[in-house]
């Protein structure tokens, strides 16, 4: 369940309301409160299960854990980005807003791509 909450947001992000300051602040809060906590539970559970099963040497188990850390770094970019978008939406600075919104959207798409790669590796288990 923690995985669904933490990583499903990457795919739902384009569907969440935006363009207004309150919407961007809500997105930042979702990242900080919900996604960060769910991802932490998923990471701790994944490390524990991999240790118990003795599969840390397997690429299909190790790479998704590294990807989760990478997603955490991406999330640390998105929270300030969403808060800055909220400020720009209030201030009416459309050129800066559009540029930052494109960068945030690219980061979200990259995060969604990483989730797909991690899922692929964990489901198909290439290399045994």
| Of 88 and 4, more confident | 88
Report the C-alpha gap between 93 and 84 in whole angstroms: 11
- What is the value of pTM for the model shown? 0.84
The per-residue pLDDT for 81 is 95
Report the C-alpha gap between 4 and 81 in whole angstroms: 23
Q: What band does 10 get if pLDDT is binned at 50, 70 and 90?
A: confident
Half-sphere exposure of residue 118: CA atoms within 13 angstroms, side-chain side: 22
| Residue 86 token pair | 């909220």
The per-residue pLDDT for 6 is 82
The per-residue pLDDT for 18 is 82
Q: What is the mean pLDDT of residues 1-25?
A: 86
Q: What band does 19 get if pLDDT is binned at 50, 70 and 90?
A: confident
Question: Using one digit for the tens of pLDDT, what is the confidence trace for 75-118?
Answer: 789 999 999 999 999 988 889 999 999 999 999 999 899 999 99
């Amino acid at each position: 369940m923690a995985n669904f909450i933490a990583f499903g947001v990457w795919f739902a992000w384009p569907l969440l309301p935006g363009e207004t300051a309150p919407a961007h602040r809500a997105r930042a809060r979702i990242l900080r409160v919900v996604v960060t906590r769910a991802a932490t539970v998923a990471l701790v559970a994944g490390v524990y299960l991999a240790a118990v099963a003795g599969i840390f040497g397997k690429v299909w188990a190790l790479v998704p854990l590294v990807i989760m850390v990478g997603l955490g770094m991406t999330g640390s970019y998105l929270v300030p980005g969403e808060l800055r978008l909220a400020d720009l939406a209030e201030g009416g600075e459309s050129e800066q807003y559009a540029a930052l919104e494109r960068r945030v959207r690219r980061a979200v798409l990259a995060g969604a791509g990483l989730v797909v790669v991690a899922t692929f590796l964990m489901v198909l288990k290439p290399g045994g």
